[in-house]
Each structure stands twice: as C-alpha cells, then as structure tokens.
Amino acid sequence: MSSTELLQRRFDILGKRAPLFYEKPLHIVRGEGVWLHGADGKKYLDAYNNVAHVGHCHPRVVDAICAQARTLNTSTRYLHETIVRYAERLAATFAQEDMMVMFCCSGSEANELALRMVREVSGGTGVISTAHSYHGNTAAVSQVSAILSTPDQRGPDVRMIPVIDPYRDRGQQDDATLVDGYCAEVDKAIASFGDGGRKFAGMILCTGLSSEGLPTQPAGYMRRVAEQVRAAGGYFIADEVQGGFGRFGSHFWGHQVQGVVPDIVTLGKPMGNGHPMAAVIARRHIVERFTELNPMYFNTFAGNPVSCAAGMAVMDVLEDEDLVANAKTTGDDVLAQLRDLAQRHELIGDVRGRGLFFAVELVQDRETKTPATDAAKEIINAMSRAGVLISRIGPFDNILKIRPPMPFTSGNADQLIETLDRVMSSLRVAA
C-alpha cells in the first residue's frame, strides 16, 4: 500500500484527529537501535522515542518476549517465578525498603490506580497537579492533566499549581525566593480544599516536569513540595512514566534526582521497551490499606509472564550495556553542544537538560522571551525531512523536545547537532 493510500485509509477508519507526527507523516517499517527505517528507504535518527528505551527492537528484549510467549502467557492469578523476580528487582531500585508492586498496562492506568489509592487511603478527594501537566487519558487522570481538561471538566476536587519556570519568572529573584513563591502556591491550593469543605488527598507530579517543558528545578524545590503535601496529610505521587528507568543519567528515577522520597511511584512507557506494561509502586502501608478497602484489584493483562520477561530483559540490557552511565556521558556531550549552538542562534533562548532529556526553548527575542512557536514547528518538520526525529512541548509549543533511546552515541549526538544547526540556519519563518 502506498503511503498516500495508507494515510487516506487511516483518516477514514481512525479519523483525522488521531495524532500523527509531522506535517508529512512518516511511514516507518522497521526499527533497530536508534534508527527507524521508512517505507521510502530513508533512514531516520530517532532522537525522540523514550518507549524504545534500550533501542528499537533490541534483540534481547525481542528474544525474551518470543521465548516466553512460546512457553506460556497467563495472568497473575497463577504463580509464576518471573513475575515475582521482576517485581522484586523493580522494588530494589527504590531507596524505600517497603515498596510493593501492582502491575498495570499503561501509564494512564497506573495513574488512575495511584489516584484511587491516595483518595481512598487518605479519605480525601482533593488532588493537586501542575498547570501544564499530562498524566494520561482516563476520566480521573484527564482531570489532573491540565493539557487535556478545562477547569469545568476538572471539577472541585482538582487544583493546578503554576509550573516552576526559572527561565521566564526569575527576574531578580534568587533560587530561594523563587522556590518560596512557588511553594506558597502549593499551600494556597491545599488550603483551598478546606475552604471548599473538601479534604486534601495528595499531589501528582511528573518528577522531570516533562510535559511542562522540563524547567530547571532549583535544588530542593520538589522535596519541599513533597514535604508540604505530607504535612497537610496528603500523599505524594511521583509520575515516572516519562523520565524513569535511568533517563536522567545520574539516578535510576527522577524523584531520586530531586531528592524526593515519594509515597507512590507510577511507571510506564520505557518499562517494556514498547511492550505495553506499567506499574504502581507504593509504600506497603498504602497498598495494604487499599487492599483492605478493595479486596480485589485484578488486571487481566497486567504483569503477565510475557510482560515481565520483557521488563526483565530491559533491566538486563540497561545493566549489561551500562546505559544509565551512557545517558550521563552522552547527555553531557549533547547538552554542551546545544549550549554551543545557542551561542550561534539568537532564536535559542534557553537550553535545559539532564541525562538524555533536553529542552531547547525558542524565542523571537531574548529580552522579551516571546515564544517562537512557528519556528519550533518548522524546525521539527525540517528536521524530520533531514532524517532526525524530535518534537516540541510546552505551554506555547515553542520548546524543542529531545529524548532519544538510551544507546544514543556521541556520533548520533553529532548528527543531531549538525542537522539542527543546518536546519536553524536555513529557517524560512521569521523568528
């Protein structure tokens, strides 16, 4: 089927609103490591995909899935060694020694379960999130996802706090004053539940503030927020769906980078390298109370032996190929090159990043910081035509988002930067 016919038939059956990357949608037929191969024979460097965490179609993950699928695939209602071993291995990556594991099939489902837990265990309903968050698409989770819901849809049980944004909001403030201001918003949100006769239940935060635009968080900011939440009797949910499994290079989890000890952690995307799996990892007393209140939580596909074999293989590859260390060294290299690029392109207002996760904020004017939204759109499309895949995020959609698979090499980094440099130099839109 030609790509044109495929697109038309897709529009007819999936609808035009089903999201597609890029103005000229890509028809990808094969993946391998950091590479995606198009139906047109073109090879693309994938600098965006955090689901193919250890590389597209990693042979060890594929083999583990196939071997287990050939042997047995049942639900967690049966005893199976791989399920228990994998859950134990996951739990061992957390500093908290009393973490328990509940498997799900998607990040949305994990956050749905986490929200149920904090609400039912606390006896409250009020939940806080950020003003540009994305946590998933179920009814309850979309209410705490700012970019999916209107204030009316969120209803009286949800409050959004402003996203900490040192680049735009710092002014003359030092870190401490900036953090004080943002933390005051958290206290205000907590207090507002009581004013409305509601009990506060907790807060959900993506620890990298990924959809929010990956702002540089002043040291101690998120830890202080978590303390405020707990002091008010709430639970802190760390959403690690996007940034987890070593992406930030220095630590295995984003909350560890921020010095936070969460009550509940949710995982997803990279967990099975594309095999749909997710989990809620929570303190024992929370899980035990939740299971008293709900004697049965069962999820047919979640944590089945094939999923756990995939998850186990991802952990093996991360360890054996030293990919967390690679995220740090290659990530540092990319960051330095992006900063160098900012010296040559006025359009770049700010460069942020950690490990293999970067945000390049584009502005029309470095003084006014007016978002260069059209330029960001043109750049990601021109990059895809030039064979390098990235995307954009943020409240103004003016932030280039770069988040490659973990085996990204320094050679890949050079190609990414050279292409970005070239594309930015030949930009058509007026910045």
Residues that bind ligand PMP (CB under 6 A): 106-108, 111, 134-136, 206, 210-211, 239, 241-242, 268-269
- Give Dmax over CA atoms of the chain in angstroms: 63
We find the least distance from the C-beta atom of residue 111 to ligand PMP, in angstroms, to be 6
Return d(Cα 79, Cα 74) in angstroms, integer: 10
Nearer to ligand PMP among residue 241 and residue 281 (C-beta): 241
List beta partners, residue 45.
35, 388
Nearer to ligand PMP among residue 56 and residue 401 (C-beta): 401
Q: 418 by DSSP, 3-state: which? A: helix
Return d(Cα 174, Cα 96) in angstroms, integer: 32
We find the least distance from the C-beta atom of residue 416 to ligand PMP, in angstroms, to be 21
Q: Phi and psi at residue 203, in whole multiples of 5°?
A: -135, 145
We find the least distance from the C-beta atom of residue 73 to ligand PMP, in angstroms, to be 20
Nearer to ligand PMP among residue 268 and residue 407 (C-beta): 268
Nearer to ligand PMP among residue 166 and residue 254 (C-beta): 254
We find the least distance from the C-beta atom of residue 48 to ligand PMP, in angstroms, to be 12
Tell me the residue number closest to ligand PMP, measured at CB.
Answer: 107
Nearer to ligand PMP among residue 134 and residue 252 (C-beta): 134
CA 13 to chain centre: 29
Closest Cα to residue 347, out of 421, 258, 252? 421
We find the least distance from the C-beta atom of residue 129 to ligand PMP, in angstroms, to be 11
Cα 347 to Cα 121, 374, 383: the distances in Å are 48, 12, 16
Structure tokens at 48: 């965006």
Burial of residue 21, with CB atoms counted within 10 A of its CB: 0-12 exposed, 13-18 middle, 19 or more buried:
middle
We find the least distance from the C-beta atom of residue 43 to ligand PMP, in angstroms, to be 26
We find the least distance from the C-beta atom of residue 35 to ligand PMP, in angstroms, to be 23
Return d(Cα 408, Cα 332) in angstroms, integer: 12
212 close to 130: Cβ distance less than 8 angstroms:
yes
Closest Cα to residue 45, out of 387, 393, 413? 387
Nearer to ligand PMP among residue 349 and residue 394 (C-beta): 394
Return d(Cα 229, Cα 201) in angstroms, integer: 9
Nearer to ligand PMP among residue 210 and residue 398 (C-beta): 210
Q: Which residues contact 311 (CB under 8 A, 6 or more apart)?
A: 86, 90, 271, 272, 275, 277
We find the least distance from the C-beta atom of residue 209 to ligand PMP, in angstroms, to be 9
Nearer to ligand PMP among residue 239 and residue 263 (C-beta): 239
DSSP 232: T
We find the least distance from the C-beta atom of residue 239 to ligand PMP, in angstroms, to be 5
Nearer to ligand PMP among residue 110 and residue 313 (C-beta): 110
We find the least distance from the C-beta atom of residue 281 to ligand PMP, in angstroms, to be 14
Q: For the packed helices 175-195 and 221-231, what is the interaxial angle rounded to 10 degrees?
A: 20
List beta partners, residue 275.
273
Structure tokens at 7: 């697109």
Q: Which residues contact 390 (CB under 8 A, 6 or more apart)?
A: 47, 48, 380, 383, 400, 401, 402, 416, 420
We find the least distance from the C-beta atom of residue 211 to ligand PMP, in angstroms, to be 6
Q: Which residue has the tokens 């002043």?
A: 218
Nearer to ligand PMP among residue 135 and residue 328 (C-beta): 135
Nearer to ligand PMP among residue 52 and residue 363 (C-beta): 52
Q: Are strands 348-354 and 391-393 parallel, antiparallel or unpaired?
A: unpaired
In 51-106, which residue ranges form alpha helices assigned H by DSSP? 59-71, 81-91
